[in-house]
Amino acid sequence: MNTIMIAVGLALILLGALLVMLALLSNRVKVRGGGDILIGPFPIIFGDQALRPILLLFAVLAAFLLLVFAILSRW
């Protein structure tokens, strides 16, 4: 079971890298970027103005997952 999960994980990583390369090779793609850094419960969001709502949602979800993991680790 463990080797199957490792193989599936590696296949998904390779598929994702292949899709990114194919997207960058097409001339119709405009590359925009942004990011989110969580330092404790405080998110630092940077990037294009159009990406801000998505990055803010990501920060909220990441903080929620951090809380869930903290609660489950004490279980």
**32 or 14, which is more confident:** 14
Which residue has better confidence, 17 or 20?
17
pTM, two decimals, is: 0.44
E-strand ranges in 1-75 read 34-39, 42-47
* pLDDT higher than threshold 80 for residue 3: yes
Task: Tell me the per-residue pLDDT of 22-74, one tens digit each, with 9 for 90 and over.
Answer: 887 877 767 677 777 777 667 777 777 777 787 778 878 888 888 898 898 88
List the Cα angle 58/54/17 in 5-degree steps.
Answer: 80
Closest alpha carbon to 40 in 21, 17, 67:
67
